[in-house]
Amino acid sequence: MSRRIELVTGDITTHEVDAVVNAANSSLLGGGGVDGAIHRRGGPAIGAECRALRASRYGRGLPTGEAVATTAGRLPARWVIHTVGPVWSEREDRTPLLRACYTNSLRVAAELGAVSVAFPLISAGVYRWPKRDAVVQALDAIRTAPAGVDEVRLVLFDDASRAIADEVYAEVFG
Ligand code: ADP
């Protein structure tokens, strides 16, 4: 497979890619963290499309693990792909849902014709997924997803997450 996976540090809203993935919440109405940053910087067109999607298809919310695309508004990208990560649970293994976020986002991206996609570290913020395992699942799900998108970036927001991701990357690909 020819997919390239690159680790980068910084703010995902500055990335020039075909599709930026948003760690949304199921309401699709915006929130904090990366979701807030994407809506702020992308402008109101994203929220308007999200509200339309709620009205037409997701009245009960976007289910965890699923993905749906909207315009990217003023972001330097063509689309935002919204996906809802699982909240970390001590009692229940929600790993398949976390991995589904990556594979479903890549499927939606491929359907759109996107060649390059940037992901944040889904569920690793407010949803409390342990960082190291969030990176393990992200890299492995991206690596093993069906072909279709050639260039994937995993965007780490801070240096500490980047350091963890570098270690995991070496283990997974080294
Ligand atoms: P979730 O609710 O899925 O946990 P969060 O947005 O709270 O989503 O956090 C997901 C990850 O995104 C965290 O690792 C957080 O540090 C990171 N993050 C927050 N803002 C940005 C941003 N502007 N660009 C990239 N990553 C971000």
Give the residue, out of 128, 157, 161, with the most ligand 1 atoms within 8 A of its beta carbon, to mutate for a pocket test: 157
Q: Please name each of the domains of the chain with its CATH number.
A: 4-173 (3.40.220.10)
**The pLDDT of residue 2:** 65
**The pLDDT of residue 48:** 98
Tell me the chain's radius of gyration from C-alpha atoms.
15
Give me 126's structure tokens.
């407010």
**The pLDDT of residue 47:** 97
Answer yes or no: are the C-beta atoms of 151 and 116 closer than 8 Å.
yes
Distance (Å) from CA 126 to ligand 1 centroid: 8
Alpha-carbon 158 to chain mean position: 16
In this prediction, does ipTM exceed 0.90? yes
**The pLDDT of residue 116:** 97
* CA–CA distance, 139 with 110 (Å, rounded to integer): 18
pLDDT along the chain (174 residues), means of 10: 87 98 95 96 98 96 98 98 98 98 98 97 98 97 92 97 97 82
